[in-house]
Copies of this chain bind each other. A is one copy, B any other.
Amino acid sequence: MEQVKVWLNEKDIPRQWYNLGADLPTPMLPPLGPDGKPIGPEMLAPVFPMNLIEQEVSTERWIDIPEEILNILYRWRPAPLRRAVFLEKFLDTPAKIYYKDESTSPPGSHKPNTSVPQAWYNKQFGIEKLTTETGAGQWGSALAFACQLIGLKCKVYMVRISFDQKPFRKIMMQTWGANCIASPSDQTNAGRKILAETPDTPGSLGIAISEAIEEAVTDTSGKTRYSLGSVLNHVMLHQTIIGLEAKKQMKMIGAGTPDVIIGCAGGGSNFAGLSFPYVADKINGADIRIIPVEPTACPTMTRAPFAYDFGDTACTTPLLAMHTLGHAFVPPPIHAGGLRYHGMAPMVCQAIIEGLMEPRAYHQLASYEAAVTWARTEGFIPAPETSQALAAVIDEAKKAKEEGKEKVILFNYSGHGLMDLLGYDAYLSGKLTDYELPEEELQKYTKELEKLPKAEVRKTGKW
- Shortest distance from the beta carbon of A196 to any chain B beta carbon, whole Å: 30
Contact B1 A74 (CB under 8 A): yes
Instruction: Return the chain B residue nearest A108 by Cβ.
Output: B418
Given A177-B376, A378-B75, A172 and B421 contact (CB-CB distance below 8 Å): yes
How many copies of the shown chain assemble into the complex? 2
Contact A4 B425 (CB under 8 A): no
Contact A106 B379 (CB under 8 A): yes
Contact B381 A172 (CB under 8 A): yes
Query: What are the residues of chain B within 8 A of A10 when measuring CB–CB?
Result: 1, 3-5
Q: How far is the CA of A119 from the CA of B407 in the complex (A)?
A: 34
Interface size, A (range)? 35 or more
Contact A74 B7 (CB under 8 A): no
Query: What are the residues of chain B within 8 A of A11 when measuring CB–CB?
Result: 3
Give the residue of B171, B379, B422 whose beta carbon is less than 8 angstroms from that of A145.
B379
Q: How far is the CA of A253 from the CA of B346 in the complex (A)?
A: 45
Instruction: Report the 7 A-B pairs with minimum CB-CB distance, sorted nearest first.
Output: A106-B379, A171-B421, A7-B7, A168-B421, A171-B425, A106-B380, A418-B418
Interface residues of A (CB under 8 A from B): 1, 3-5, 7, 9-11, 67, 70-71, 74-76, 86, 104, 106, 108, 145, 148-149, 167-168, 171-172, 174-177, 372, 375-381, 418-419, 421-422, 424-425, 428
Given contacts A106-B380, A106-B381, A418-B419, 10 further A-B contacts (CB under 8 A): A1-B10, A4-B10, A5-B10, A5-B74, A76-B379, A171-B421, A171-B425, A175-B375, A175-B428, A176-B375
